[in-house]
Structure formats: C-alpha cells, structure tokens
Amino acid sequence: MTALEQLQTDFQNFLLTLGDSMDEHVVGTTKFGTQERLAVYADAYRLRLLEALEDNYPALHTLLGDEEFDRLGRRYIDAHPSSHPSIRWFGHKMHELLREETPYRSQPVLSEMALFEWTLRGAFDAADESVCAIDDITGVTPQAWPKMRLQFHPSVTRLNLVWNVPALWKKIDQDKAPDKPKAEEYPASWVIWRQELQQFYRSVATDEGWALDAMIDGQNFGDICGGLCEWIDEQNVAVRAAGFLKQWINDGMVTSINV
C-alpha cells in the first residue's frame, strides 16, 4: 500500500469510526488542536449523511420531529455506515432498525413509514422499460391464456401495511397536519409503481394482492385462476383474473406478455 493509499484508508476509517487513525497525519496549531481540526471533517461527513436521511424520509422526519429524527439518524449512521458509492442509497435499512430496536419498535408505524417512503424512492429510481398497451393482450388466443405469463416494470413493488401510512404520507406530502396513526385489524395490500416520472400507489383487495404476488413470482394465468378460487367461485374466477390483468396493463405495470 502506498503512502497515499494508507492516508486515504486512515481518513476513511476515522470518518466511519471516529478512532485515532488520523492523529499522526494531522498537525495541530495554537489556535486549533488536532482533534478540533479533525472534528470539522467528522461533523461535515455526518451532517451530509443526516441530510441524505432527511431527503429519503421526509414523512418519518415529520412524525418524529427534528430532535428525535436527529438522534435516530446518528444512531443509524453508527449502526449502518455508508457503503454505497452513491449517497442516494444511504438509509436502506432504516425500516429494519426501527422495527427491531428500542424505543422505536414500540411504535411500528415508524418502521412501516420508513418502508413505504423507501419503496416510493425506489420506484422513482427503478430502471425504465417500455410498457404494454391493452391491445397487446387482445391478440392472445383463448387457447394460450392458461399458460400466459407477465413481466412487470422494475418499479412495481407490493407491500402489506397494518398502519394508515399512505394516508399519513399523503397529508405530510401536501404540507398538511397528519391524522393520528391508526392500525387496521388486518394488513392492507398496497402496490407501488412508476409511470414515466410519476410514482403511484394504490390499495388492492386481498385477492388482487395475492394474484399480483403470484404473477410477479412467475406463475401463469391458469395458476392464478386456480389460486383465486379461495376467494371467488369457479364460474367467475376467470373474469376476475382477466380484470386484474387489464388493470395492471392500464396502470402501466406490465412490460411484456409471454405465451
């Protein structure tokens, strides 16, 4: 390792751990000691990471308030140092920390909000692909429908949420005071995706959520119809399943139809 590489490594270790790896490389002055000079860099680094967390989690920030979010952010920085070349991806384990560690795990709405916000950001940054139009499915012969599989846009993500997180997020995004967090008796199914440069999200019925999960996992239309019989009588299941496909295509979620 060259002297420059060693210096770079020591400086990185200092920023990440606040250890003494840089002490021998920095000379203090009568006005500013070694630790004071190093603190400038350490503080600037952490402040930039805190800014990134604020950008990624504005609604979570609102729910917690400035002081508590700052404490959470510094705790996250210590627990999960930045490891990606792009600061955009800093914070991807926030929902796990909130779900698993005290005192946050006693407020599960926080973890769900972090997951929802990160998924919205991920939808915006997902790779772009052209999507199908409804005319693309009209050419599929009736005999081919049972084996038909769909490919979905990279932005499409399914979530099951117990708390009224989307409603809270919407109020905060509109600069309105959020309602009180409320837990539902059963998890609600949601889907998040992007059309061009606009993110979308909507709630879906339990059977549609199951069907979307199954299609994303590679099951075919025949498999979907069989599984939907848990909720729908056999005579109506094909119409219900076809309605889902039409909705997904019209929503811009589907990138290819394979028969």
Let me know if 219 is exposed, middle or buried by CB neighbors in 10 A (0-12, 13-18, 19+): middle
User: What pLDDT digit, counting tens, does each position of 66-80 carry?
Assistant: 999 999 999 999 999
**What is the average per-residue pLDDT within 201-217?**
98
- The rounded distance, in Å, linking the Cα atoms of 77 and 86 is 15
Residue 242: phi, psi to the nearest 5? -65, -35
pLDDT of amino acid 13: 54
pLDDT band at 33 (very low <50, low <70, confident <90, very high): very low
Q: How much is the pLDDT for 84?
A: 81
All structural domains of the chain, each given as residue ranges with its CATH number in brackets, are 1-90 (no CATH), 129-259 (3.90.930.50)
This prediction has a pTM of 0.85
- Degrees, nearest 5: CA angle 241-245-248: 135
Average pLDDT over residues 168-195: 97
Strand ranges, E, within the chain: 149-152, 157-163, 183-195, 198-204, 254-258
Section 146-150 average pLDDT = 98
Q: Is the pLDDT of residue 242 over 70?
A: yes
Residues above pLDDT 70, as percent of the chain = 83
As a whole number, mean pLDDT of residues 129-150 equals: 95
Mean pLDDT of 176-191: 96
pLDDT at 8 over 90: no
Q: Are 49 and 87 in contact (CB under 8 A)?
A: yes
pLDDT at 10 over 60: no
Structure confidence by residue, pLDDT tens digits, 101-115 = 999 999 999 999 999
For the cut 70, the answer to whether the pLDDT of residue 171 exceeds it is: yes
- Nearest CA-CA partner of 150 in 30, 10, 249: 249
